[in-house]
Structure 1
């Protein structure tokens, strides 16, 4: 990737509206690609071999970590997102599996902080469950 910029910027890729909002900055970007989208078996195998220890089991950090929250910040509680009825059983099964593996923990009481769950079906038909903070 080659970037030539006129102005004070370190951004390599810009949206077209950025140039209109900041006329002092113009940016020309040349992105070179080997036409690989990263999904080729060869590319994945290389990453898996190089970082074999990272792709083994479920990633965890050693020990306990205490997160201190800023008392000035107001907690947020977002409503749950709608889930297609056809996914309900699969999502419940995946959440139970994640709970048994210790990835998540069931919250029995109300909490001030809550983010909506986002569920996406992967190309292999398994589910990716994330939180949308």
Structure 2
């Protein structure tokens, strides 16, 4: 059994990673995760639906509303963004809001390995106004 110790001192380990691998003293655990996603592939294909009761988020008594301006999106990715937003709306993951809102959070996105995009919300200002229970 090995213990991993973090220290600020400049200590040279007795065995380095190449030696540990060579003597097969290290067992990789992430293969278990790969097996789960392979063995239960049908569970990881689509968006899941969890049946839960709606939750009413409560805001602090004195909070400041924040309407953030949108972040810049490269023109060549606008079509992909529009398609992804429409898909999320169709799947009822997001709802289009046309009325004024107290909080408007910016979105950012990352390009996935398959060249599609993942949309992420940045709710920092809203989170700061939420009342913790």
What interval of TM-score do these two structures reach, taking the shorter chain for normalisation?
0.5 to 0.7
User: Given the alignment, which residue of 120, 125, 131 partners 1:130?
Assistant: 120
**Taking structure 1 as the reference length, what is the TM-score of the superposition?**
0.63
CA RMSD of aligned residues (A): 3.4
Query: 1:101 deviation in Å?
Result: 0.2
Q: Does 1:59 align with 2:48?
A: yes
**Taking structure 2 as the reference length, what is the TM-score of the superposition?**
0.63
Query: 1:130 deviation in Å?
Result: 0.6
Alpha-carbon separation, structure 2, partners of 1:113 and 1:74: 9
Q: Which has the higher strand share?
A: 1
| Structure 1 contact 4–28 (Cα < 8 Å) conserved | no
The gaps in structure 2 that reach 5 residues or longer are 124-133
Structure with max Cα Rg: 2
- The secondary structure found in structure 2 opposite 1:3 is coil
Q: Which has the higher helix share?
A: 2
The gaps in structure 1 that reach 5 residues or longer are 6-25
Query: 1:54 deviation in Å?
Result: 6.0
Runs of 4+ in structure 1 off by over 2 angstroms are 26-30, 42-45, 49-57
